[in-house]
Amino acid sequence: MTTVFFTSDLHLGHRLVSDVRGFDTVEEHDRAVMGGLVAAVGKGDTLWVLGDISAGGSAGQRRALALINEALVEKGRTVHLIPGNHDGVHPLHRNALKWDAEYRQVFASVQPFARRRIAGRNVWLSHFPWKGGGDHTDLDRYETVRLSDDGTSWLLHGHTHSLAAIDHERRQLHIGLDAWDLSPVPLEAITDLIGATSAGESA
């Protein structure tokens, strides 16, 4: 039976992020990140990555794509991408189209956002929180490419690097590695969190 997982903000090769996460070297960070994905996501499983596979830059992106392809895709995992601001293929970048073919050689799909039905709720997938939903800086950046909160839907996102997983008031679930001990989040865990919150809303 196929299991579906979600994660975000791998930041492979990103010196600043590896330092913040407590690693002595970028290489040690990258081994831990990829090792955690490989251990959790089995052959035949599906992984959704909600952006920022690297620090950006041509060499950094190509290195991250190669690591993901070798460790996951070539070993029978299906990987989808909702790109983030560090991914050249995101349409916020002027030259996004030039990266399209390279990203699609690795990812089964590449789209700026997506929608699913989880725990009976409408759930959007995006790298970014809702408009006005926070950032890891004092300002909410990239407002023009963020989704608007419709008042009922949930949102799975990354980007903030927050250690907190859930924002009940805004119906946002942060699935980035920083909130989940550098591990991907199984669909069952997301279903439980959204279902429990929804039950509380209706009680």
Other Cβ atoms less than 10 A from the Cβ of 30: the count is: 21
- Give me the pLDDT at residue 118, please: 97
Please check the confidence at residue 84 and state whether its pLDDT lies above 80: yes
Other Cβ atoms less than 10 A from the Cβ of 179: the count is: 21
Please check the confidence at residue 203 and state whether its pLDDT lies above 60: no
Q: What is the DSSP letter of 166?
A: E
- Quick check: 53 and 87 in contact, CB under 8 A? yes
Mean pLDDT of 122-135: 94
Mean pLDDT of 145-153: 97
- Quick check: 88 and 47 in contact, CB under 8 A? no
Q: Does the pTM exceed 0.85? A: yes
Can you tell me which residue has the tokens 């700026």?
112
3-state class (DSSP) for residue 112? coil
Query: Quick one: residue 6, left, alpha or beta (phi over 0 = left, psi -120 to 50 = alpha)?
Result: beta
pLDDT band at 200 (very low <50, low <70, confident <90, very high): low
Mean pLDDT of 142-148: 94
pLDDT band at 138 (very low <50, low <70, confident <90, very high): confident
Q: Which residues pair with 117 in a beta bridge?
A: 122
Mean pLDDT of 169-188: 97
- Give me the pLDDT at residue 2, please: 81
Contacts of 10 (CB under 8 A, 6+ apart): 33, 49, 52, 53, 54, 64, 68, 177
Please tell me the least confidently modeled range out of 44-58, 92-106, 107-121, 127-141.
127-141
Tens of pLDDT, residue by residue over 3-50, are 999 999 999 999 999 999 999 999 999 999 999 999 999 999 999 999
Mean pLDDT of 125-130: 98
